[in-house]
Amino acid sequence: MQEILAKILAKYSPNEAEIIQKAYTFAEQAHTGQKRDSGENYIIHPLSVAQILADFNMDHETVSAGLLHDVLEDTKTTPEILEKEFGTNITFLVRSVTKLHHVNYSGEKNYIENFHKMILATAKDIRVVLIKLADRLHNLETLETYKGNKERIAREALEVYAPLASRLGMGELKGIMEDYAFPYVYPEEYKNLLDFVKDQIAENKKYTERIKPTVEKILKENNIRYIRLSARAKHLYSLWRKLKKYDFNLERIYDLVALRITVPDIVSCYETLGVLHKYWQPLPNRIKDYIALPKPNGYQSLHTTVFCEESKITEFQIRTEEMSKNADYGIAAHWSYKESKNPLAKKYSWLHQLSEWQNQDLNSEDFWENAKIDFFKDRIFVYTPKGDVIELPEEATPLDFAYAVHSDIGDKCIQAKVNGKIMAITHQLNDGDIVEIITGKNQKPSQDWLKFIKTSKAKTKIKERLRLTS
């Protein structure tokens, strides 16, 4: 444990490290005599949470709160004692995380109410939820020794925490949490998937090792500076979900194992893409430029799929070191104390939606219905004619798009041009569509619109207009 603590402390200034050390000593004493289900001393859990937060490069207050996150609930420590020892900020974080400990599936009503609290905590101070994510990650890592309801913990990860991590741009965390949870929620499906793809995954890994020298040679011959060339295996849960869409046809999964090229700067990203296409034929419609058009959660990279060596279809991801950091850590990679009250509001625009819901004073049930639509459904990214990205849930319509652009445009929407073709407002949009809304000055929202609308914003605005005109 001292080795783990030393690695954490090494990341911070002497003054910050002193506070973290104090938090560790306090937590260790407070949890004296307590054991985890594994038989280990309880302190290993908050220490592991702190380590995860330090790996996220969070500030010393967040790491200290990670060490202390269970003392209010599981020991005799009071908020008053905590504030006297560690001040207002750390105490606020610990108290807020303590409130979130009760977010569980203890009856749907309680679950919805507590989920409501958790999401609103995200809007107040993102650090609270990051501590909770770190807490849940370590619980998942040690789920095998847990004596309680393993499926409940795992299902919460799949249905709440992993999607939330995704919305925060923490893609790697999302994938890890899902893979830990997968065998406990869908044990048969997990076993069947392993049997189904293990040989293919193994072969693909051998293949990527075979072609790495070729790729390196090509990059060097074309004076492409690169930092790293690595293979990336697809997370199992993500693979399972994708296979279900394609009737378990592995030949339609082009990113089972992908090669990732990390380069020094953005110019090198595009130069690398050009070199790859010079040597290997790209697949149509499989080139994704998330650098020029980042995903709303901040993800940036170039993706291309080519007919590579041995005529094998291979995906390449090209990004800078900074883009890799952002892909792994999301909002945590950018967090700063100054932004803690309103973290990266421009980049993570969905946080504005949380504030709007808060201002609307929605009850927990309505909040939950909105969240299921706007946070936990798979997302698509569609574009305005000017190239602005609009993020929508799967199955969204041009009418959802119109309201996402502006409420007035939604109210007057009569049809849309989707990729240049006239479509009804009920048309189901697809990822990558370019949408132009056609309005009519006499058009008004209709009750029928509520039957096919998919976004909470559109639903709320339509209901408002209908109330005003009734």
> Which amino acids are annotated catalytic?
73-74
Q: Of 395, 380, 383, whose CA–CA distance to 426 is shortest?
A: 395
Element (H, E) at 281: strand 281-282
In which residue are the tokens 């999302």 written? 174
**Neighbouring C-beta atoms of residue 232, cutoff 10 Å:** 14
Separation of alpha carbons 280 and 301, rounded Å: 19
The closest of 318, 221, 189 to 265, measured between CA atoms, is 318
Strand partners, 434: 383
Give the tokens for residue 61: 């207050």
CA-nearest of 469, 450, 468 to 459 is: 450
Mode of pairing for the β-strands spanning 313-320 and 288-289: unpaired
Q: Can you point out the beta strands (E) in 367-466?
A: 379-383, 389-393, 413-418, 421-423, 435-439
Rg (CA), the chain: 24
* Beta carbons of 339 and 283 less than 8 angstroms apart: no
Strand partners for 288? 303
- How far out from the chain centre does Cα 363 lie? 25
Identify the H or E element spanning 319.
strand 313-320
Element (H, E) at 4: helix 2-9
How far apart, in Å, are the Cα atoms of 448 and each of 239, 302, 460?
37, 41, 14
Return contacts of 421-429, CB within 8 angstroms, 24+ apart. Answer: 423/398, 424/398, 425/397, 425/398, 425/399, 425/449, 426/397, 426/399, 426/452, 427/397, 427/398, 428/395, 428/396, 428/397, 429/380, 429/382, 429/392, 429/396, 429/397, 429/398, 429/400, 429/401
Alpha-carbon gap, residue 168 to 332, rounded angstroms: 8
Q: Which of 463, 330, 352, 457 minimizes the C-alpha distance to 399?
A: 457
